[in-house]
Amino acid sequence: MTTEDIWHRWRASYQTDEAKSLVEDGVGDEVGYRSSQPRLLVVLKETNRRGGKYDGVKLTDQLRKGAKYTVWHRVAEWAAGFHHGFPPYSEVAQQSVKDEALRGIAAINLKKIPGTATASSTTIDAYAFRDRLLLREQLDELDPTVILCCGTFNPMCWLLESRISSEMGLHKVVTIDNGAKLIKWDHPSRRGRNKREWYADLAATWRDCLT
């Protein structure tokens, strides 16, 4: 499968208007992502339309351009934490560090069609179910070692159901059949969280995985 092939098939599966607005996602920098440790995939819900048109827009372009908007600043800090062993927050909060971290991850939306500022879980689940075969194919191609589920843990569990042992409970961290970690986490646009404490909580969750 090539990247061009899967997006051609994804567009072909939608009606014309939706196909035009489909937002491509995946890897920021292929070399950086494949060589990163761990290989981090961030799973989000949908792109915020923000009142604009999205014909031809790619989420991967945002990863390459660096941290902009609250969502990507938080994702970049978390990514830098994973890549650098979760150093003090002051180190990952630097713009240059965040920009580099974004380029070295993959990020996808379960719903490839843009939505509003508030995502409906029912709608996200419906799109994930509709596109489940293509999503599984995309996940296999990305082959992450850590999957950070940002408000998307439940649909990711049923998408990967065949790769999760029946003996494993659905705790905050789930290990799939190739050893990759599936982490239940907040969406980066969630309000009311102190960014330093949020980062520290993720660091603690990750360290628990390693013990």
Q: What is the pLDDT of residues 129-150, one digit of tens each?
A: 999 999 999 999 999 999 999 9
Residue 107: give the domain boundaries.
3-210
User: What is the per-residue pLDDT for 50?
Assistant: 55
What band does 77 get if pLDDT is binned at 50, 70 and 90?
A: very high
Domain containing residue 28: CATH number: 3.40.470
Q: Convert the pLDDT of each residue in 167-183 to its tens digit.
A: 776 778 999 999 999 99
Planar angle of CA 189, 195, 198, nearest 5 degrees: 90
Q: What is the DSSP string of 38-101?
A: S-EEEEES--B-TTS--TT-BHHHHHHH---HHHHHHHHHHHHHHHHT---HHHHTSHHHHHHH
Q: How many domains does the chain have?
A: 1
What pTM did the predictor assign?
0.93
Longest dimension (CA), the chain: 50
Considering 1-10, 39-48, 108-117, the range whose residues carry the highest mean pLDDT is 39-48
Mean pLDDT of the chain: 90
Q: What is the DSSP string of 109-129?
A: ESS-S-B-SS--HHHHHHHHH
